[in-house]
Amino acid sequence: MTFKTSRFNLRENQSTGLHSLGIEGFNDRMESHPWFGVGHSLNSNAAKDYLARLQETTHAQPNPYCIYVHVPFCASICRFCALYTRAVKGNADAIFDEYVQWLCQSIETHPCAYSNHGPTTVHFGGGTPLHIGLDRFAKVTHSLKKAFGSSDSCEWALETTTSSITPKVADTLAELGFKRIHLGIQTLNDDLRTFNRRHETGNEAIDKIRYLQQQGFLCSADMIIGFDNYSDAILNEDLQRLYASGIRMFSICELRLVRHKDLQSSQHQEQSQRNYQYWKQIWEFMESADLIPIHLGQFADSQESNLYFTHPARGENCVAIGPYAHGSAGRLYYSNKLLPAYYEAIKMGESPIETAVLYDDQEEIILNLEREMLAHRVTHKTIETVLFAYPERFADILDFWQNHELMLPAENGLSWSITREGSWYIGNMITQIRDMAVQPVLTHERAVRMYKQ
Ligand code: SF4
């Protein structure tokens, strides 16, 4: 079984050490584009022009949008991390100053800036955004507010580690208007935390969660399943302790401990089977705690809006700021250049977009289904639309999903639900519908083979 939704794969070349100083090494791409293989490619300048034209034509009534800001720096690199980030130590002031200088310029010259509507949410990810230092972080925040505006309802959020949180940091974040903090907990087990280069103990992490909540922040916890020496007892204890500390929004990723080329190996198959058992355990816990799936690998209670992660389900655009940030606008999906090409583009007044695709009507139908599947809420109307566009191909797929209990109609007849099994195989399900759009439907045997990998 392959859980195609996991974010983390062991770094192939960098699993043991810190990275060099400076911005060397920032040219390695760690993840594939989520839309790879579908859509019509646009070059960098054409994508920038598309954004500018969209901004002009929708100036009076723009689509709601969120902002994602990528900060690709960390104090050290956790063993499991495959995100676009590097450890920066030593001469860090110069590196961070340079980053903030070009980032602020990219914000203030962005084609989507200075509209008459503010964002619904601004989300800082990375990396560890606070690693650039509080003053620089505040400078970026002010630059965003100046160029894009803000409002009381805008949810300012950031991803960080508990070790970055101090009373001074919490006060500054509150003054800047931040409401939500996504904490990279991964596990509370101290042996695993030490091995994975986390800087605080599980108890210290829990204390920080409680402290942040007392200060009025919404806290969510990122967890990873499948470390070496992991067990169902560790998972259970992590879930119980985090829930007891007040966490009501969990984001959970599976760690693969094999390299991509070894995905067929028996070691991978065994690990995948083990992780699947953990996944079942997570679902049982979430059901008993009344937390519902809201997005890929994420569970929350019904009070949790979590605006950034759920923006695609509301059809919102996303303005991407920073190297390797991904954005969307209308039918355009794009990804920014990596460092140092990102700096160079901003410096020269050129497009910072590296690659982009534009969807057509047919593909948009698939994309819409995909967005609803990721949000675990598929409407009957969407199913009917896809069936109308791809009558035989999608009917076969729908039969396959129902027969294998991956997605089932709700009793009210108005919607469909991704099941627990479906949430594990959702990457495969999305591959099936994308294949449906670009090539003949998968035969039943081929689909079964794909799910067994
Ligand atoms: S702190 Fe987060 S982004 Fe940085 S290396 Fe660890 S997991 Fe990756």
Per-domain residue ranges for the chain? 8-312, 362-453
Q: What ligand 1 atom has the least distance to the C-alpha of 186?
A: 7
Going by alpha carbons, the residue nearest to atom 6 of ligand 1 is 78
Going by alpha carbons, the residue nearest to atom 8 of ligand 1 is 81
Q: What ligand 1 atom has the least distance to the C-alpha of 80?
A: 7
Each residue's pLDDT, cut to its tens digit, for the chain (453 residues) gives 233 333 333 333 222 222 223 334 444 544 444 454 566 788 899 999 998 888 888 766 778 999 999 999 998 888 778 788 888 877 799 999 999 999 999 999 998 899 888 999 999 998 899 999 999 999 999 999 999 999 999 999 999 999 999 999 999 999 999 999 999 999 999 999 998 888 899 999 999 999 999 999 999 999 999 888 999 999 999 999 999 999 999 999 888 766 656 666 777 778 888 999 999 999 999 999 999 998 888 999 987 777 787 888 788 999 999 999 999 998 899 999 999 999 999 999 999 999 898 888 888 898 889 889 988 889 999 999 999 999 888 999 999 999 999 999 988 888 999 999 999 888 889 888 888 877 655 566 666 666 765
Residue to mutate, 15, 70, 85, ligand 1, most ligand atoms under 8 Å from C-beta: 85
Structure tokens at 89: 């130590």
Provide the whole-model pTM.
0.88
74 Cβ below 6 A of ligand 1: yes
Q: Could you tell me if 111 and 48 are in contact, meaning their C-beta atoms sit under 8 angstroms apart?
A: yes
Q: Per CATH, which fold does 8-312 belong to? A: Transcription Regulator spoIIAA (3.30.750)
Residue to mutate, 74, 158, 185, 197, ligand 1, most ligand atoms under 8 Å from C-beta: 74
